[in-house]
């Protein structure tokens, strides 16, 4: 009974942790100030694991909106950082790399987004003797953006959070009810059936918790991996556990039948139980 209580408290604690660990993508930042270059960053900031995406930037004069073209002399440095702050990509492009007249396109490969978590990049551009300003001054600009990598490329939302919390709450109530019913029931097959149901509910709870953590706990990849491994282990053990429960049920039925036969022969309840217990399995 003590182990059942500990297991129940563990599942409730995991549920609370999932419910409060909601994160969202951060707002982008662009360069500010007069006579600077303004860098328009892509709107997309949530990606799936292994996704290949083309980051296309437009660079303009912040004062008048005129874009840099191949007639200007400039460069832009793109830096991509991983979920541990490590450099994943550094690339420089110049006026010779412009696409579609105005686009600077940087394409990280699939290995750059190989892990779930928060990423970010920054881009710095500098133009010497820029023709997009009247006095042909030197201009510079900087922008940065926080990114999120999730298993399905979707950002956690309030509606998703409500859905997951609701499903977890219902499963937890059923799980606790199954554990309690198995503990207090005096019917062998009822106890066995409720024990099996409790195990299946635990598998379902672990799966929902794993899915929820993958959407809302991108800053804690260890928790996502722990829940994934836990779900795999519990799933693999489903058939052995259920078979074990039914074998145990049949074995107990045989013992009960033996006890009844001994009672019919005149043994007391205590004597019959002790006699059956002393027998080898």
Average of per-residue pLDDT values in the chain: 80
* pLDDT for the residue 35: 56
Kindly provide the residue ranges of all beta strands, DSSP E only, lying in the chain, ordered along the sequence: 37-40, 46-48, 55-61, 73-81, 87-94, 103-106, 117-128, 139-150
Indicate the domain borders of the chain. Answer: 2-21+156-278, 37-150
Least confident of 54-58, 75-79, 243-247: 243-247
Q: What is the average pLDDT across 171-184?
A: 90
Stretch 147-170: mean pLDDT, rounded? 83
Q: Which residue has the tokens 């039925």?
A: 253
- Is residue 90 over pLDDT 70? yes
pLDDT higher at 30 or 229: 229
Characterize 35-66 residue by residue with b for buried, 16 or more Cβ atoms within 10 angstroms of its Cβ, and e for exposed.
bbbbbebeeebbbebeeebebbbebbbbbeee
Q: Which of 17-21, 65-69, 226-230 has the lowest mean pLDDT?
A: 17-21
In the 8-state DSSP scheme, what is residue 211?
Answer: H
Question: Looking at domain 37-150, which of 2.60.40.10, 3.40.640.10, 3.40.1160.10, 3.90.600.10 is its CATH number?
Answer: 2.60.40.10
Average pLDDT over residues 206-235: 83
pLDDT at 135: 65
Let me know: does 145 contact 55? Beta carbons within 8 Å. no
CA distances 231 to 37, 68, 249, Å, are 50, 52, 26
For residues 196 and 186, the model is more confident at 196
Which range, of 106-115, 118-127, 215-224, 235-244, averages the lowest pLDDT?
Answer: 215-224
**Mutual angle of helices 188-216 and 221-236, in 10-degree steps:** 150
Q: What is the pTM of this model?
A: 0.56
């Amino acid at each position: 009974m003590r182990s059942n209580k500990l297991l129940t408290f563990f599942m409730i604690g995991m549920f609370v942790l999932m419910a409060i660990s909601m994160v969202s993508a951060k707002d982008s930042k662009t360069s500010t100030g007069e006579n600077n270059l303004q860098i328009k960053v892509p709107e997309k900031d949530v990606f799936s694991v292994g996704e290949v995406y083309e980051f296309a930037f437009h660079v303009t004069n912040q004062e008048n909106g005129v874009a840099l073209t191949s007639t200007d002399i400039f460069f832009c440095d793109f830096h991509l950082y991983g979920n541990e702050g490590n450099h994943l990509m550094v690339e420089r492009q110049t006026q010779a790399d412009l696409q579609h007249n105005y686009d600077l396109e940087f394409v990280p490969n699939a290995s750059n987004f190989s892990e779930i978590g928060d990423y970010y990049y920054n881009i710095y551009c500098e133009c010497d003797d820029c023709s997009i300003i009247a006095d042909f001054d030197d201009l510079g600009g900087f922008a940065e953006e926080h990114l999120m990598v999730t298993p399905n490329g979707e950002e956690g939302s309030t509606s998703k959070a409500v859905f997951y919390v609701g499903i977890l709450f219902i499963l937890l109530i059923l799980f606790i009810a199954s554990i309690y019913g198995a503990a207090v029931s005096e019917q062998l097959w009822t106890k066995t059936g409720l024990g099996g149901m409790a195990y299946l509910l635990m598998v379902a709870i672990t799966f929902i918790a794993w899915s929820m953590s993958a959407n809302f706990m991108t800053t804690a990849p260890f928790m996502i991996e722990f829940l994934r491994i836990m779900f795999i282990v519990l799933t693999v053990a489903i058939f052995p556990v259920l078979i074990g429960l039914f074998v145990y049920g049949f074995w107990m039925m045989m013992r009960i039948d033996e006890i009844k036969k001994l009672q019919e022969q005149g043994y007391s309840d205590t004597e019959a139980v002790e006699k059956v217990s002393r027998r080898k399995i």
